[in-house]
A and B are shown apart, each in its own frame.
Chain A
Amino acid sequence: MKEFHFHRASSVADAVAAVKGASAGKFLAGGQSLLPVLKLEMAEPSDLVSISRIKELRGVCVDGNKLLIGAVTTHAEVAASSEVKKHIPGLAALAEHIGDAQVRNRGTIGGSVAHADPAADYPAALVALGATIKTDRRAIAAEDFFTGLFETALEPDELVVAVHFPIPEKSAYAKFASHASKYALCGVMVSKTGSDVRVAVTGAGQKVFRVPEMEKALAARFEPSALDGISISADDLLSDGQASAEYRAHLVTVMAKRAVAAA
Chain B
Amino acid sequence: MTTESKSLIGAPIARKEDRRFLTGTGRYTDDLNRLHQTHAVFLRSPHAHAKIVSINTSAAAAAPGVVAVYTGADIAADKVGGIPCGWLVKNKDGSNMVEPPHPALVADVVRHVGDQVAVVIAETKAQAKAALNLIEVEYDVLPAAATVRDAVAEGAPLVWEQAPGNTCFDWHLGDLAAVEAAFAKAHKIVEIEVTNNRLIPNAMEPRAAIGEYDAAGDMLTLYTTSQNPHLIRLLLGAFVLGVPEHKLRVVAPDVGGGFGSKIFHYAEEAVVVWAARKIGRPVKWTAERSESFMSDAHGRDTVMTAKLAVDREGNFLGFRVHNTANMGAYLSTFATAVPTYLSGTLMAGVYKTPAVYVEVRAVFTHTVPVDAYRGAGRPEATYVIERIVDKAARELGMDRLEIRKKNFIRTFPYKTPVALEYDTGDYDATLAMALEKADVKNYPSRVEASKKRGKLRGIGYSTYLEACGIAPSALVGALGARAGLYEAANVRVHPTGSVSVFTGTHSHGQGHETTFAQLVAQQLGIPFDKVEVVHGDSDKIPFGMGTYGSRSLSVGGSAIVKAVDKIIAKGKKIAAHLLEAGEADIEFKDGKFVVAGTDKSKAFGEIAFAAYVPHNYPIDTVEPGLDESAFYDPKNFTYPAGTHVVEVEVDPDTGVVTVESVVAADDVGVIINPMIVDGQMHGGLAQGIGQALFEECVYDESGQLLTGSYMTYSMPRAADFPMFKVGNHVTACTHNPIGAKGVGEVGAIGVPPATINAVLDALAPLGVTDIQMPATPEKVWRAIVAAKGSKAQ
Interface residues of A (CB under 8 A from B): 3, 40, 176, 178-181, 183, 241-244, 247, 250-251, 254
Contact = CB atoms under 8 A, between A and B. Distances in A.
A238 B715 CA distance: 23
B786 to A, nearest CB: 13
Interface string B650-675: 00011000000000000000000000
B697 to A, nearest CB: 11
Given A180-B714, A241-B707, A250-B781, 4 more contacts: A176-B777, A244-B778, A247-B778, A254-B653
Interface string B699-732: 0000000110011111100000000000000000
B70 interface: no
B694 interface: yes
B778 A243 contact: yes
A242 B654 contact: no
27 contacts: A3-B126, A40-B290, A178-B711, A179-B694, A179-B777, A180-B710, A180-B711, A180-B713, A180-B714, A180-B715, A181-B710, A181-B711, A181-B712, A183-B711, A241-B698, A241-B706, A241-B712, A242-B712, A243-B778, A244-B778, A247-B777, A247-B778, A247-B781, A247-B782, A251-B654, A254-B653, A254-B654
Q: Give the secondary structure class of B's interface.
A: loop
Contacts of A242: 712
Contacts of A254: 653-654
Which of B713, B778, B781 neighbours the largest number of chain A CB atoms within 10 Å of its CB?
Answer: B778
B720 to A, nearest CB: 8
- Interface band, chain B: 10 to 19
Contacts of B778: 243-244, 247
Given A241-B706, A241-B707, A250-B781, A176 B715 contact: no
Q: Give the secondary structure class of A's interface.
A: loop
B39 to A, nearest CB: 15
Nearest to B706: A241
Contacts of A181: 710-712
A179 B781 CA distance: 15
Contacts of B126: 3
A179 B714 contact: yes
Nearest to A255: B654
Interface in B740-793: 776-778, 781-782
A231 B340 CA distance: 50
B657 to A, nearest CB: 10
A192 B653 CA distance: 25
A171 B211 CA distance: 60
A242 B707 CA distance: 10
Nearest to A243: B778
Nearest to B654: A254
Nearest to B776: A179
Contacts of B694: 179-180
A180 B694 CA distance: 8
Interface string B674-712: 000000000000000000001000100000001100111
B591 to A, nearest CB: 50
Contacts of A251: 654
A262 B654 CA distance: 17
A40 B712 CA distance: 15
A180 B781 contact: no
A6 to B, nearest CB: 16
Contacts of A40: 290
A68 B711 CA distance: 32
B135 to A, nearest CB: 15
Interface string B109-146: 00000000000000000100000000000000000000
B696 to A, nearest CB: 9
A148 to B, nearest CB: 20
Contacts of A183: 711
A247 B781 CA distance: 8
Nearest to A258: B653
B361 to A, nearest CB: 27
A192 B420 CA distance: 68
Nearest to B774: A179
A99 to B, nearest CB: 11
B654 A176 contact: yes
Nearest to A250: B781
Contact of A180 (B290, B653, B712, B782): B712
